[in-house]
Every structure is written in C-alpha cells, then in structure tokens.
Chains A and B, each alone.
Chain A
C-alpha cells in the first residue's frame, strides 16, 4: 500500500517535471538566506529549518522525505532512501526499513544498510569513532525515541526505539545520510574525528539532487546539479546560497540583481518589491511563532490564568497589519479544521477586558503589575521579524498592565538555550522564550513540549511542563499505529493544550519570499521546505 502511494506521488512529481524538461531550462539560482552563516554542511544542518531547507535537503536525502511538489495540499511524508517500512507486529519498538537499491553518494560509493547504521551511530553511539557531539544537538532532539540501527541484509535495516513510537517515520526526515566512504577517506588526512567532520563539511558527500562545489565560510556555498540523482533530476545547473541576515540588505540585494530569490523580505519593502516587478510568494505553513512559557517555581506563567490573559491580551490582527498581512492568526498550534485541532473550550481571541479580569484574579493589578522577561532573537530561520513583532507585543500588553522586558540574543544562541531549559543560567531568568517552530509532525508540534520526559536536556520542553494527564495522552498517541486513531488521540492532546494555554500563540508564518521574475517553475508547498529541483532560471 505504501509503495502504491509512493508511485502516485512520484507520478505527480514527474508529470510537471517531464513537461518542463522539454524546454531544457537551466541556469544559476542565487538565494539570499536569513542566516548569518552558511548552515552546517556536514549532513545535519544547524540554523533551524532554514538549514535543512538549504544545506540539508538539496545535498542529502533521508530514509523518509517530504512531498514538496504541490502548493495546494498539505505536505506528507513519502518514501525517500527507504522504499517501505513497517513496525514489527510482535515488538512495537522494532521497525524494518527496506532501502532503495542503486543509489550512489556523490563520491561514487553505494548507499546501503551499512551507511544507514553508520549515520545512526554518528549521533547516537558515543563509542563510534565518528560520533560527533556537535551533530547530536540538532539531530537527537528531533528523533528522541530512536536508539540504534541494525543491519539485516545489504538493503534492509532494523531501527529500534526506546518505546513504541508511531511517529518515528516522520522524525526520520531529519536524519540525513552522509557518505561513510567520504568520511573515512578524509579521516586519513585529519588528526581527530572533529577535524574530519570539519573537513567533511567542506567536501560533503550525500545522495541529494545537488552536490556542493564550493564553500566560502560565512559568504557562500555553491552547488551543481547531481546528474546521477536516483529520481527526477534538478533543472537548475547551479545554486548559490548566500547568508544575508539583515532584511534590508536582502531586499537591496534582490533589487540590485545580486540575488534572484530572498527569504523573508522586510514587510515594509514588499510594495516596493512588487512595484519593481518582483514576485512575492507565500503559503500557509505548519509553523508557530509563540512565547513558550516557563513553568518553573518562580515563573508567573505557571498560573494558567496568566497564560490565558496574555493569550487574550494580544491584538493579532494589529500584528498582521504590522507584517503587511504576511502572517495568519493562530487559534492553537494547528489551524481549525486540521485533523489534530480537536474541540478546545478555550477560544483564543482578543478580549482585553477578560484579560484584565484574569490578571486581577491572579493577583496582578496596576499597583502590582506583572513583569515578564522574554528571550528573543534579532533574526533567524522562521523567526519572521522578531524585533518589531516583539516590540508590538510589548506595547500591546502594556495596555493590559503587563510589562515585558526582552533579552535579545542571536538566533543560534536562542535555539541552543531552548534545550537548556528555563531554569538554566543561559535563560537569564526569562519567563518565556520566543523560539518559533515547525508543527508539521505531532512530535514537533506538541509532544516535545508537553511530555515531561522531554524536559531539557532531552528535548524542547523548555518550561519543564509536567502533567501526568498529558504524558498519558502522548503515550496513547504514540501507541496508535492506525492513522485515524492516532489523529483522534492527537486532537484530544491539542485541545487539552489549548485549554491549558500551554503557549502564548502569536502568529503562524506564511513564509514570504520574494524572487525575480526570471525564476520559473517554483512551487511553494505548505511546508517549511522547498524542492529546489523544480525552479529554473529563464
């Protein structure tokens, strides 16, 4: 059944590709990213999902991948380097993955079961010679139940989880397959494993649709099409990615034809960009831009009344105006109508009177106002426009008598602090953190925040939320290997989370991009990611 689904998906991808390839379109696409440095190219990118988008998916493949071919339907998981998979009926912690045959890494070596085991060990086996602590942070948190891999035969592997986990195939989209052969070759010339990984980052080898041809730290990375790709090849000849963290500089670079495509143009520049013939694209995204509360002893956000009050005190429509319409208004982690939305009784909306009442009930008055400290970033992947947005919120909340202070840190720091938890010194006493996140799979959307076992340093339960009721609901969802039952369990979980106001939900990103009219064939899927095989330059 999975195979059939894949074939259908493959046809959907193939049809438009075949049509366009007749035109033999090609060219070089230059992309201005929001990151301050090139995300790591060693196979497990940093810099959030912008890293996966630009130095993960184009260079590497994973066992399971996202279908990024269509703009008008939710992006789903499809087979990647694995053709099919199933959980062991007798042991729900053992999964069997069948691997695609005939796939080669950029260095010419074969992709096989040994490579999968090697790539699992690089982040999970401390005894492995190629274990890389630097990659653990961005990888292990995204697949917290995965424990180890075992080769069954050359094209079959077994993966083991710590507990039954129906979400594993979705998590595995984050484990990119790097070439063991390339690494071993570089190991000979480098003194330590760490140095070897640095060398590998300069000369990465994956199975992706592009291979890296040039790497100038902090300035640019260049890719060329992988002509030996195992499925539909890219149309572009070359891609150049450039880190341009400052929104104005990105806009200016696009307007002066230094790049063809920029991520997150400054909203105020959008009219000017349109006027100059640039194309602005956006699409609904499984994304949440929240303040994630701290539930520790001295945090005022421990009190559900305060969390609800803040949720009610925010004028999200006003924020949308600030962003030139480039956001959607959240009513929870997922939108209404989503299979996981459920039936929450708490309605997220703007109601300042009710907010004031709740605050007063919680003991905060104009004489004894509530002061919140929030750790935020200045820019970053999925962070939208953090400074003006937060400043807007600060001003808005003043209206209900809440003083907000900010601790502005760099995005990578904010992201790293996320796994330290709100009681760690790195949080500097913040009551909330402003890490925005992807909500495309249930683990990312809910489990990692609301499961008490996901408290730092394991994963992103930054606020140390701990409620056995939620743990039970999560266990139930993880054990539901039937999709319908799993969705129902997740809907109950989501509704409970909204009722407890476990986040201050502020915005969903619509991922605005601006590009030159010369970029054709581009599809913006309902995802954080983009299939860079599709666009071409005219």
Chain B
C-alpha cells in the first residue's frame, strides 16, 4: 500500500519551509496559493470529481435507483448497460450503481475519519511537543518512534486483527497508524515557527503560551499539516478497503467498496467488468485525493 505518504522524512523539511513561508509572508500567501491552484487544471479536475462523488454519496438515497439491500436471484450478475441496471447487478442481484453509491458512504467514512481523528490528535500532540520542547517533546517523540517501527499496513492489520472485525476497530486501528506521522510533521513545522522573530516578540511582550500557540503558531502550521493530512486520505482509503477485503472491516450486507470487491471475486469469470467496478471506484478516489494533495503542496511551495 502507498506507504510513502506515511514517511514524512522528506516531506517534513519541505513543509517546515512552507510553514515558515506562510508565517513570514502576509495574507497574500494564501491568496497566492489559491491563485496557483486555480491555474492547475489537473487539481481542479480531480477536485471536481471528488466533489461530484461526495455529492453523489451524500445524496445517495435521493439519486440511487434501487434499494441497496434488496436483490433477486433472477437478475443476478447482469452486465453493465442492462436497462434499468446501468452498472449491472451483483452476486445477489442488487443494483451495482446503488450499491456503489451507498458503498461510497462507508468507504469515504472509513477513509477520512481516521485521518481526521489523527489530524486532530496528532496536531495537538505535535504542536505540544514542538512548542514546549524539552522533556515533553522527548516523551511524545520517543513514543512516536515506536509506532514508526511498524510498517503501516502491518500495524493496521495487527491492531484490527487482535481487536477483531468491525468498522469501529478498523477506524481505531487506522487512526493509530496515522497519528505518528502527523505528530512528526506537526512537531517539525512547529519547531520551525517557534523560533521566528514575531513569536519571540510575542513571547517578550508577555503573551501567555496558550495565546501564542493559538494566534501565532496554529494559524501558521495548520495549513501545511492539513495538506500533509490530505495526502494520507488516499492511503487511508486503500487501507480501509483492504481491511474490509480481508474481512476485518465492514460486515455483509453493508455496502462498502472493499467488501464488495471481496464478495464479487467469484463473479470475475461471469461478469469481470462488474466485478472490478468497486476496485475502480477505490482507485479513482484514491488517485484524485493524491493529485489534489500534490497540487496543494505544489501551490504552497513558492519556489515551484
């Protein structure tokens, strides 16, 4: 799985630079970033696809043509393009389009929730470590190192394997996987910002630590950390559906892309194109998230 995104060593330095740039420049920085993103057709295209997908899965009950759970043995495994069943039917005769729409809800949920949770927890811990330094930093960063010693897939499989199957366990496992890299990035960028002149000035003027962090540090580090977190969503979605594919995530009959891919495996001889659809959905979503995140990162890099 795309482990790269959880290896921030190379990304860290870059992000620290960006954070410093963001901090040093005025509000014009973000306007510039936005301007550059707007000019990048790939990013805009991918973002539009993601937005469309999001709308489609949010409004699934309104636009889905059929019931996601109700099937019929008489019309199982129909081909793509069957009238009334545009994307065919699955192994229990349920409409694929409907299942994919509803399945997107869980897949997105299981992909984004761990990153969102890790973003919050990781930022808090990382900023704390970066700002306070000293023993707190030491304690937080050494624990982070331990989790770094596990390849991400292995850690996710280990935790959800030990806890047993279930959506909540899978989300818990993935959150634990993503907290350490976010802590590292947050710590690096915070350390970078902490020593800047205006933070020193604020400190000298007697502002308390909380205010400094809230006003000066968070405002400047959240952006880069957020961008880094978006690059994790793609990994998270692949991992989450991978867990479901292994039977560690969602349980039948809940529609979820990874699980659908699993249950449609045997249909690959009858309707190969229908059987690969859920995988294609995961692929498209994941590639779009990756490209959007790349675009954002590039736009924030003033040199580029």
Direct A–B contact in the complex, CB atoms closer than 8 angstroms: yes
Interface residues of A (CB under 8 A from B): 246-248, 251, 266-269, 271-272, 315, 318-319, 321-322, 378, 385, 387-388, 390-392, 394-395, 398, 405-406, 408
Q: Decide if A395 touches B165 in the complex (CB within 8 Å).
A: no
Q: Are B92 and A322 in contact (CB under 8 A)?
A: yes
Q: How far is the CB of A226 from chain B (nearest CB, A)?
A: 37
CB distance from A369 to the nearest CB of B (A): 14
CB contact between A269 and one of B72, B76, B91, B269 (< 8 Å): that residue: B269
Interface membership of chain B positions 235-273, coded 1 if the CB is closer than 8 angstroms to chain A and 0 otherwise: 000000000000100011100000000010111111000
Cβ of B70 < 8 Å from any Cβ of A?
yes
Complex Cα distance A353/B247, Å? 35
Contacts of B270 in A (CB 8 A): 268-269, 271-272
Chain A, residue nearest B252 (CB): A391
Is there contact, CB below 8 Å, between B74 and A321?
A: yes
Q: C-beta contact mask, B96-134 vs A, less than 8 Å → 1, else 0?
A: 000000000000000000000000000000000000000
Give CA–CA (A43, B270) in the complex, Å.
41
Q: How far is the CB of B218 from chain A (nearest CB, A)?
A: 44
* Listed A/B pairs (21) with beta-carbon separation below 8 Å: A251-B269, A266-B269, A268-B91, A268-B270, A269-B266, A271-B269, A272-B269, A318-B72, A321-B73, A322-B91, A378-B247, A387-B252, A388-B92, A388-B263, A391-B253, A392-B92, A395-B70, A395-B71, A395-B92, A406-B251, A408-B251
Check B283 for interface membership: any CB of A closer than 8 A: no
| B48-105, CB < 8 A from A | 69-74, 76-77, 91-92
Q: Collect the chain B residues with CB atoms within 8 Å of residue A392's CB.
A: 73, 92
Query: How many angstroms between the C-alpha atoms of A392 and B165 in the bound complex?
Result: 21
Write out the residue numbers on chain B whose beta carbons fall within 8 Å of the beta carbon of A385. Answer: 266
Docked pose: A388 CA to B72 CA in angstroms = 13
- Pairs of residues from A and B, 3 with the lowest C-beta to C-beta distance, nearest first: A266-B266, A318-B73, A272-B269
Determine if A406 and B252 form an interchain contact, defined as CB atoms under 8 angstroms apart: yes
* With A247-B266, A268-B267, A322-B73: A394-B253 Cβ-Cβ less than 8 Å: yes
A395: chain B residues within 8 A (beta carbon): 69-71, 92, 253
Q: Which residues of A contact B251 (CB under 8 A)?
A: 405-406, 408
C-alpha gap A320/B239 in the complex (Å): 35
Query: Hey, which bits of chain B sit against chain A, CB under 8 A?
Result: 69-74, 76-77, 91-92, 165, 247, 251-253, 263, 265-270
Report the separation of the CA atoms of residues A406 and B270 in the bound assembly, to the nearest whole angstrom.
27
Which residues on the A side are within 8 Å of B73 (C-beta)? 315, 318-319, 321-322, 392
Return A430 CB to nearest CB of chain B, in Å.
Answer: 13
Q: How far is the CA of A251 from the CA of B71 in the complex (A)?
A: 26
- What is the CB-to-nearest-CB distance from B206 to chain A, in angstroms, rounded to a whole number? 59
Nearest neighbor of A267 in chain B, beta-carbon distance: B266
Give chain A residues whose Cβ lies under 8 Å from the Cβ of B74.
Answer: 321
Nearest-Cβ distance from residue B290 to partner chain A, whole angstroms: 29
- Which single residue of chain B is at the shortest CB-CB distance from A428? B164
Task: Please name 15 further chain A to chain B contacts, defined as beta carbons within 8 Å, in addition to the given A248-B268, A378-B247, A406-B251, sorted by A numbering.
Answer: A266-B269, A268-B269, A269-B269, A271-B269, A271-B270, A318-B72, A321-B74, A322-B91, A387-B252, A388-B91, A388-B263, A388-B266, A395-B253, A406-B252, A408-B251
Tell whether A248 pairs with B91 under 8 Å between CB atoms, given A271-B270, A321-B73, A398-B69.
no
Instruction: Give every chain A residue within 8 A of B165 (Cβ-Cβ).
Output: 408
Contact across chains for A408 and B269 when beta carbons are under 8 A apart: no
Q: Among the interface residues B91, B165, B247, B265, which one has the most CB atoms of the partner chain A within 10 A?
A: B91
Bound complex: CA A101 to CA B92 (Å):
56
Cβ contact within 8 Å between B76 and A322: yes
A355 and B301 alpha carbons, distance in the complex (Å): 67
Which residues of B are found within 8 Å of A388, using beta-carbon distances? 91-92, 263, 266
Whole-angstrom CA separation of A247 from B270 in the bound complex: 14
CB-CB under 8 A from B91, the residues of chain A are 268, 322, 388
Least distance between A276 CB and chain B CB atoms (Å): 10
Max chain B C-beta neighbours (<10 A), residue from A266, A271, A390, A394: A266
Chain B: minimal CB distance from A90 (Å):
55
Q: Which residue of B lies closest to A392 (CB)?
A: B92
Min Cβ gap B84→A in Å is 19
Cβ-closest chain A residue relative to B259: A387
CB contact between B92 and one of A248, A271, A315, A391 (< 8 Å): that residue: A391
User: Cα distance A460–B247 when bound, in Å?
Assistant: 27
Other-chain contact of B263, A269, A321, A387 (Cβ < 8 Å): A387
How far apart sit A378 and B265, CA to CA, in the bound complex (Å)? 13
Closest to B71 in A: A395
How many Å from the CB of A205 to the closest CB on chain B? 37
Cα-based distance from A389 to B18 in the complex (angstroms): 55
Question: A202 to B268, alpha carbons, bound, how many Å?
Answer: 38
Contact: A248 with B71, CB < 8 Å? no
A residues within 8 A CB of B267? 268
Q: Which residue in chain A gives the minimum CB-CB distance to B74?
A: A321
> Would you give the shortest CB distance from A295 to chain B, in whole angstroms?
26
Determine the chain A residues whose CB is within 8 A of the CB of B77 once the complex forms.
268
Establish whether residues A248 and B76, one from each chain, have CB atoms under 8 Å apart when the complex forms.
no
Q: Which residues on A sit within 8 Å (CB–CB) of B269? A: 251, 266, 268-269, 271-272
Distance in angstroms between the alpha carbons of A318 and B251 in the assembled complex? 23
Contacts of A387 in B (CB 8 A): 252, 263
Cα–Cα, bound, A212→B253 (Å): 43
Question: Closest residue of chain A to B94, judged by CB?
Answer: A395
A271 to B76, CA, bound (A): 15
CB distance from A327 to the nearest CB of B (A): 13
In the bound complex, what is the Cα–Cα distance between A96 and B90 (angstroms)?
Answer: 58
Contacts of B70 in A (CB 8 A): 395, 398
* Minimum distance in angstroms from A263 CB to a CB of chain B: 15
B270 and chain A: residue at smallest CB distance: A268
Contact check: which of B76, B252, B263, B265 meets A394 at CB < 8 Å?
Answer: B252
| Neighbouring B residues of A269 by C-beta, 8 Å | 266, 269-270
Residues of B within 8 A of A251 (CB): 269
Nearest CB of chain A from residue B146's CB, rounded to whole Å: 30
